[in-house]
Chains A and B, each alone.
Chain A
Amino acid sequence: MDAMSSLSASVPYPRATEICRWTIADFGDLRGLRADLRATEDVTAAGPDVVDRVTVVANELATNALRHGLPPTVVRLLRDGDRLIIDVADHDREGEPRIAENRPLGGGGLGLQLTRRFAIDVGWYATELTKHVWASFPS
């Protein structure tokens, strides 16, 4: 595993409700995803700090899924109590998402490092068809 460690494998927030979802076909769709998130009431109501966090993390996770996963990439915004959740799914069940520890800046894995710093929690789980990476935020 060299300097890699697994994110926790668990199905989070089974009772979470979906606020919105986006199907992302290519990198050109990321801009619209960010604009939509910044305009979503559940996100804006949480304040500018959370808007920044959610936008950065959703963009990083979707970019990662487009680069390394199998299409389609589906981004969902969920609410579970006082937490907002970004859940990004792709159809590559084999690829286990990993986060690099102690890599020099620019050595890769920067996206997931930003995700870990901007989210409260980060994890992943797989279903029969899909792999999901999720991140949670205060609201």
Chain B
Amino acid sequence: MKDHLAVFRALTVLAAACAPLLAADTGSGLDLKLKTGLKAGDVRTALKDNKLFGFAIGGSRAWGAGRLTFEAGFDLLPGQNYDATRTSGAIWAPAGTGLGTSDPTTGNAYFLRPNESLDLRKESAQGFTIKVGYGAPLAWNPGLSWHAGISLDAYKVSSEFTGTLRPMYLNASGTPTQVTTTQGKYYEGYAFVSTTTGFAPGVFAGLRQEIGEDFAIEVNLRNFGLKHQDYLPTTYTGKPAALETSTKRGFSFDVALCLKL
């Protein structure tokens, strides 16, 4: 809720900030940018999705032979639901007296009962991005310019974890058998959503083509990062369940339609 309020307030402030510029007789030099694009690298791997959407307010001011560019926007980095149920590797479970990877009586390794185990996940991100850079027209086409600069992203990453893991083993007769404890049949279950927000710097470069007086098209290549969250249930590690956070970086390629304010 707080994050959403922040979005709302920030946009309100942004709109208010634009107002004096709108009133300027000489025109604002500001654009509304509508972006769509693809993402790649570890970010894509973490989110299991290659799409990117966003909108921004951007502008520029003359500086030397070129222009200083700036942009403040909101990006949406979708993620896909996926099944992370472990199908290979060690499975840890409490068999009476403690954790292990196999049944102490038979020595048979634990495995996840396929039709009763499920580890569903989804991670997506959204948040603000600020860019500053420098650009200049290309000599052979004054309507076409290049630009490059640095960005600072504040993406809120939302990670959904839902699962039930039910270890089994083959008993002496070769029959799949449920791992039990003194409390009953053993499951590990979880259902939670964890969000985290972190700042990450990035770099970008791109081209911009003016289309008449009112429109322009931009293409941008950007390197950026976000905080990825991974949940490690006891069943996968033999240790207390834990949520691990790491930074993932990747590239994005976006096309922006620029509408003059």
Real binding pair: no
